[in-house]
Structure 1
């Protein structure tokens, strides 16, 4: 784990004891800090050990704590703990900010931070893969992989590759990434912000943290990203999906959205000093991410693809553009009452199969353009699509929705899709 003198002798309150919260508590205790922690889940509280004081943070005085460390899942725009901490003049931070504070204790290293609405997981994993392919010590962290504070620090010259959600950026105050990346910005998570402008401002903060000699790499394919690029007054590289002309050599990096991911990853790799031959080898061998355009199986000439991580229409649109003949499974908890972002690719869709809470809305939106089956459940949708799909076509789960009406998270939804395909 990451242990730092920056934490020694300090007094922290930690809210949330899931995976990242537990890693945070253990790193702070190992560093000589005092920790008072709480989670509403009794089972989670049982795992913290005897060195931690357990107390409901809403019931105690927060004055005197050096910081309140919260999970990114805690909605600080409306959770009462936020007002309580501010009243006690206690800063609210996350584990990424603790990592930033610990950096001086680590061997010399480089931090690459990737944010954006869509594509950041693939871009993060791809950059990590390019580093490993080139023989560089590298670590995935942030919103992907294992909790950053629970991992063994890298040796000198290592590269920390961090996927950063807007929530994690909100809880950071000093994370000056050597290379900061923006993939794109489209409306998302607006329940946590004062409109779309507030969400964009959260993304921009990652670049505001940087020093004059650090590098910003921004994909300028959308207006909000171009606006942020126009405000950068330090080193900046602009990229576009159109910079990539041929994706045929990279089997897991198909579709227009992956052109953007590749364009970014190449520029990051070049900035890290990785040569073109190693970059090409890495792009060709990248295995892809589970639940993001994951090729599950080919059955009787029909390809089954799991894109469960596409939780909004903007994220689904590129998947629709990647295949010419699609049986599209979509639905769940809608984040918008429109599928406008997907419309340009409707010609690729042979039929749609709608599920979950959004099924009535999506049936209404799609019926003028294509055949729609109200399948209701994911398992039934797979059976419905498999019954009519023919060789050369693709059965695609790309829900354009959150999963919480029927599944714990998008991973559980993707796993259910894989299981349904295997059971055909």
Structure 2
């Protein structure tokens, strides 16, 4: 249908473009737009939390929470914080964000795009839509990001700018553990501060009180000294690797519908893994990849993996669901998978 519409010269747009076209009728406001392969939900929610902590009228939408068109307009001085997928950006043509951020680009959704370069270019259109004087930032993830920053004048996001004296140590942010969340915090700090509406004190307090999002490094329970963490949203190795780094002693539940045929950056973090428990369609593949590197149990299904891991873990260690895979082989979506993990933990004797 969309192809036929384009062939007939009929514009195909999405809800974000409708919001963009309606902005002139809204009370004066600002928009923060955040895209990237990994980390955009946490960064979006954290920017929203920082603004709320500072007493700024704000809401978040796009690829997170309620659709933006289903929400009431903000009063004057408000900030709309939008998580934007490449799909949404593809259907958007006039969203000029006051602050635009491209966190990272790693291989994903390549069934939709003709190449990795085309996928990266889709995300970079967030900068293309901006006007002079607006703020553009990009992560320091890989060569693609560097080229984007060069092409659009995007300023690199520097994690080192998150000064501990100003914003506190990462150990003080319970819901933001791991190197990936330090990057998310650095990006959120910049985005919120560049609205001109928050102070360093507001940011420090918000980092400390941020509650986290379900299924993203979510602390589900602690039983007999063993911490159970739900990172079901980690659907590729690039998003799982930082989760492994976050804890020194991990019992790793991995598998599902694989997007790659290797461990990717997870291979460099196996020193943190005490044992692995494989599930789903890709379970045998991961068991083969991990054989001889860490002890492996082919648990097949998630509730058994939780029982196997809980039985082997010692006090002070972590049982981590960070599957590095999509969920569609055994679950409706990553949220259902995360809820199944929670229920399996609750069912432990």
Q: Same fold (TM over 0.5)?
A: yes
Alignment match of 1:186 (pick from 91, 101, 106): 106
Which runs of no fewer than 5 residues in structure 2 stay unpaired?
Answer: none
**Alpha-carbon distance in structure 2 between the residues aligned to 1:286 and 1:400:** 25
What value does the CA root-mean-square deviation take over the aligned residues? 1.0
Give 1:195 shift. Answer: 1.0
Q: Where has structure 1 moved over 4 Å in runs of 4 or more?
A: none
Partner of 1:136: helix, strand, or coil?
coil
**Alpha-carbon distance in structure 2 between the residues aligned to 1:185 and 1:324:** 27
**Alpha-carbon distance in structure 2 between the residues aligned to 1:348 and 1:268:** 32
Indicate the residue corresponding to 2:93 in structure 1. 173
Give 1:237 shift. Answer: 3.0
Indicate the residue corresponding to 2:81 in structure 1. 161
Partner of 2:31: helix, strand, or coil?
strand
Q: Is the 8 A contact 1:241 1:256 kept in 2?
A: no
TM-score by length of 2: 0.96
Partner of 2:24: helix, strand, or coil?
helix
Indicate the residue corresponding to 2:181 in structure 1. 258
Alignment of 1:14-413 (within 5 A): 81-233=1-153, 236-244=154-162, 246-273=169-196, 274-413=198-337
Q: Is the 8 A contact 1:302 1:392 kept in 2?
A: yes
Superimposed CA distance per residue, residues 165-195 of structure 1 (whole angstroms, 9 cap, x where no aligned partner): 0000011111111110111111000000011
**Alpha-carbon distance in structure 2 between the residues aligned to 1:243 and 1:257:** 15
Indicate the residue corresponding to 1:422 in structure 2. 346
**Alpha-carbon distance in structure 2 between the residues aligned to 1:418 and 1:128:** 26
**Alpha-carbon distance in structure 2 between the residues aligned to 1:375 and 1:220:** 37
**Alpha-carbon distance in structure 2 between the residues aligned to 1:119 and 1:147:** 19
Structure with larger Rg: 1
**Alpha-carbon distance in structure 1 between the residues aligned to 2:97 and 2:39:** 19
**Alpha-carbon distance in structure 2 between the residues aligned to 1:309 and 1:163:** 15
Indicate the residue corresponding to 1:68 in structure 2. none
Report how many residues are paired: 342
Q: Is the 8 A contact 2:99 2:195 kept in 1?
A: no
**Alpha-carbon distance in structure 2 between the residues aligned to 1:370 and 1:325:** 12
**Alpha-carbon distance in structure 2 between the residues aligned to 1:375 and 1:223:** 38
Which runs of no fewer than 5 residues in structure 1 stay unpaired?
Answer: 1-80
Give 1:241 shift. Answer: 3.0
Larger relative contact order (Cα-Cα within 8 Å, sequence gap ≥ 6): 2
